[in-house]
Amino acid sequence: MTGRTKDGQLGSAVGELIRSVSPQRPADVIGEYPARTPEQVQAAAGQARDSQRDWWRAAAAARSAALSAAAAQLRARRDEAAALITREVGKPAGEAAGEVARSVSILEYYAQACFAELGAHYPPSAVDRGGQAGSSAQGNTGLLYTERRPHGVAGLITPWNFPLAIPLWKAAPALAAGNAVLLKPSPEAAGCAELIGDILGGCLPAGLLTVLPGGAATGAAVVAAADVVSFTGSVQVGRQVAITATGRGVPVQCEMGGQNAAIILPDADPAAAAAMVAGAAMGYAGQKCTATRRIIVVGQQHAFVAALTAAVAALAPADPAEPGTVVGPLITDSARAKVLAAVALAAADGARVLTGGSGPAGDGWFAEPALVDGLPPGHPLCQQETFGPFAVLQHADDVDSAVALANGVEFGLVSSVHGGSLGPLLGAVAGLDTGLIRVNAPTTGVDFYAPFGGEKASGLGHREQGMAALAFYASTRTITIAAGPG
């Protein structure tokens, strides 16, 4: 076996030992985990399939009790979980505590969702009885109803940036709907995934949920073994996962990257909008799929641009464990190098670097949040996601051109609009083509009980979260029971 630190590479060879380290102190090793082989994934799928049959046959109350117990366990271990998130992926402590609280709520929500209706009841069908079709008093007897049933084994492939919330917002609805789970976490979040396995494993029947650390080969094996697949991560990998799952004929959903825009209308409060957008762009070092990447200013707004530049400049990177830190490190050295290269490319191509762009010396993969102005809309840095603390300012003459600029990328995850008058705000909402639209609110922030997902290259297949997720992890069959003759 060969060792590997977090290095931003996608794959890991079968038999590799994954080493997860702290991005703020790379010498701090969280743990070492053998990557699971395809044979081990197959064996886990077999156990999951056996266990799933009893899980689905059991009363809904039993499934609910298990998910409630997991919620209680996580709540009891919340400080440990938040500290681990901060240590393993560099998430600022306040946000890490928020992610744990949300994860508890997700488990509680799906514990109750176990009792949701299983289908609908329709007027009975007019059964053809050989010449008596649709006839007689029998038309009002019999039954016609639908029933939601689990697919079987759910294969879940997750990124590192929400190491507790994303695995749980997939696993909890999958389990509530009656499935077993194979969870393939990101190598960069293997320690948090171990905690999930520990907590859920203690509350669920043996073999029902298995955490399978590994890289691309392990992930591919999960896609090959599962009856339903849910992926969150990059566009590049998500499309491959979707092709493979579709080729096997199993349902698949993918949530991927974004190039999210915030539109600043002329009547937005400059100071309030600037503070909100700076946080949405640079918080957690810009490592959220929903982070603001482009800020589109409508008309001349010198006060807003000055306030935004000052707000971003004030967000100096710091130890994420320190209270009050907003910007921690990048997840890997190569992720930091990509941010620094983006700033250098912007400057080389004639943009003004309004603030940031250097990587402070010393331990940890930190980079100063960078804001650049003056790139043409077609420039790769305006079109493609830079997954870090890097945002571009863009300019439009009116609301319609701002919306066209916002929509003019291949992605469609989230956008925000900031202003004071309802008419122009609603006009922008009507024109934007993203899956999530937020008015006078940051692009970041997700409500776990409402549908979540992107349009265009950002999302593929069914929405996640809320009751939408429950529907994805089940198929609906339609049952006709004819009335007896006479």
For the CB of residue 130, give the shortest distance to ligand NAD in the complex, in Å: 53
Nearer of residues 125 and 244 to ligand NAD, judged by Cβ: 244
Interface pick for ligand NAD out of 317, 388, 454, 461 (rule CB under 6 A)? 454
Site residues for ligand NAD, 23-62, by CB under 6 A, read: none
Q: How far is CA 145 from the centre of its chain?
A: 34
Selected from 186, 210, 230, 434, the binder of ligand NAD by CB under 6 A is 186
Q: How far is the CB of 210 from ligand NAD (least distance, A)?
A: 15
Q: Shortest approach of ligand NAD to residue 243 CB, angstroms?
A: 10
**From the CB of 460, what's the least distance to ligand NAD, in Å?**
10
**Closer by beta carbon to ligand NAD, 325 or else 443:** 443
Q: How far apart are CA 453 and CA 289, in angstroms?
A: 11
Site for ligand NAD in 220-279 (CB under 6 A): 220, 223, 232-234, 237, 240-241, 255-258
The owner of tokens 């689905």 is 56
DSSP code for 179: -
Pairing assessment for the beta strands 436-439 and 414-418 based on DSSP bridges: parallel
By CB under 6 A, residue 161 contacts ligand NAD: yes
What's the closest the beta carbon of residue 167 comes to ligand NAD, in angstroms?
A: 10
* Residue 475 interacting with ligand NAD (CB under 6 A): no
Those residues whose C-beta lies under 8 Å from the C-beta of residue 118, and which sit 6 or more positions away, are: 147, 148
Question: What is 53-101 written as a DSSP string?
Answer: HHHHHS-HHHHHHHHHHHHHHHHHTHHHHHHHHHHHH---HHHHHHHHH
State the angle between helix axes of 270-282 and 302-313 in degrees (0 to 180), rounded to the nearest 10: 40
Which of the stretches 44-52, 71-79, 179-187, 310-318 binds ligand NAD when contact is defined by CB under 6 A? 179-187
Applying CB under 6 A, the span of 38-46, 125-133, 156-164, 367-375 interacting with ligand NAD comes to 156-164
Nearest residue to ligand NAD on Cβ basis: 219
| Helices and strands, counts by H and E, the chain | 15, 20
The distance of closest approach from Cβ of residue 231 to ligand NAD in the complex, given in angstroms and rounded to an integer, is: 7
Q: Provide the minimum distance between the beta carbon of 383 and ligand NAD in the complex, in angstroms, as a whole number.
A: 14
Q: What CA–CA distance (Å, rounded) separates 214 from 236?
A: 18
Give the Cα separation of 445 and 439 in Å (integer): 12
Q: Which two tokens stand for residue 34?
A: 């053998």
What are the residue numbers of the active site? 255, 289
CA distances 153 to 134, 212, 331, Å, are: 41, 14, 31
Helix (H), strand (E) at residue 150: strand 143-150
- Extract the tokens encoding 465: 């979260």
Interface positions, 272-331, toward ligand NAD (CB under 6 A): 289
Q: Whose CA is closest to 170, among 120, 89, 218, 226?
A: 226
- Rounded to whole angstroms, how far apart are CA atoms 39 and 45? 10
Q: Which of 74, 165, 208, 216 binds ligand NAD (CB under 6 A)?
A: 216
Token representation of residue 362: 């010393």
How is 282-316 classified by DSSP, letter by letter? Answer: HGGGG-STT-EEEEEEES--HHHHHHHHHHHHT--
Cβ proximity to ligand NAD, 51 vs 443, nearer residue: 443
The contact pattern for ligand NAD, residues 61-100, with x = CB under 6 A and - = no contact, is: ----------------------------------------
- Binds ligand NAD by CB under 6 A, chosen from 10, 272, 306, 450: 10
According to the binding rule CB under 6 A, does residue 332 interact with ligand NAD?
A: no
If one asks whether residue 444 binds ligand NAD (CB under 6 A), the answer comes out as: no
- Report the C-alpha dihedral over residues 35, 37, 43, 49, rounded to 10 degrees: 70
CB of 23 to ligand NAD, least distance (A): 13
Q: Does position 413 bind ligand NAD by CB under 6 A?
A: yes
157 binds ligand NAD (CB under 6 A): yes
The nearer residue to ligand NAD, 71 or 157, going by C-beta atoms, is 157
Q: Which stretch binds ligand NAD (CB under 6 A): 28-36, 122-130, 180-188, 245-253?
A: 180-188
User: Smaller CB distance to ligand NAD: residue 19 or 149?
Assistant: 19
Q: Are strands 370-373 and 414-418 parallel, antiparallel or unpaired?
A: unpaired
Q: Where does this chain bind ligand NAD (CB under 6 A)? A: 10-11, 157-161, 184-187, 215-216, 219-220, 223, 232-234, 237, 240-241, 255-258, 289, 385, 387, 413, 454, 458
